[in-house]
A = this chain, B = another copy of it.
Amino acid sequence: MSVIRRLPRYYRYLTELMQSNITRISSKDLSLKMGLTASQIRQDLNCFGGFGQQGYGYIVDQLRDEIAQILGLNNSKKAIVLGAGNLGQAVAAYLEFETKGFHLVGIFDNNPDIIGTTVFDDVKVLDVAGLVDFCQREKPEMAVLCTPKEPAGLLVEQVYDSGIRFFWNFSHFNISRKYPDVTVEAVHLNDSLMTLSYLMSDHDTAES
């Protein structure tokens, strides 16, 4: 799994190399660029069939294509966003414009002031009352949770019952505790920010 978590970084660096018109790179040069050891890189990439050739290095676009394939980036999966506040709208735009592997099919909220407003292009915020019907019709595979903890439980129940088993979770609701058979990637913004706040503070208290 730790190899998997490094693959997006490989993909990113290889994309940058391509943009700089570099077609071939040794594991040593790639390691310098990425701050890993060359043997770590060889070991990581060997896990996936080993595309490098001794003394020749890696062909950048070929390695990038292979990694994209492994990460499923060529297969655009339907995603919905639950919660259309600032964060939900940012995530929706992010899914649509800045990433591969997913595309947005719907964004939902329960706030009458937000429902029907335009997020971008021709994407409008949908009424969460229609969520179940929407899921049965469109069959999204992944839901992004951008709501407060309170409505999150009910929303997860609805989309789970509609067949969604993959979640990108920005909320404080613990999805996998209630549904052990789902796959969740959680982003703990608040924990990250509070950790930074801690690191910026005096810690006489902690040491007393």
Contact = CB atoms under 8 A, between A and B. Distances in A.
* Chain A interface size, under 10 / 10 to 19 / 20 to 34 / 35 or more: 35 or more
A197 B4 contact: no
Nearest to A183: B199
Nearest to A203: B70
Interface in A154-208: 166, 168, 172, 174, 177, 183, 185, 187-201, 203, 205-206, 208
B86 A195 contact: no
| Copies of this protein in the complex | 2
A69 B201 CA distance: 9
A90 interface: yes
A32 to B, nearest CB: 11
Given A8-B195, A11-B194, 15 more contacts: A7-B198, A8-B188, A8-B191, A12-B190, A47-B206, A69-B205, A70-B201, A71-B194, A71-B201, A77-B200, A85-B93, A87-B90, A94-B189, A99-B193, A185-B196
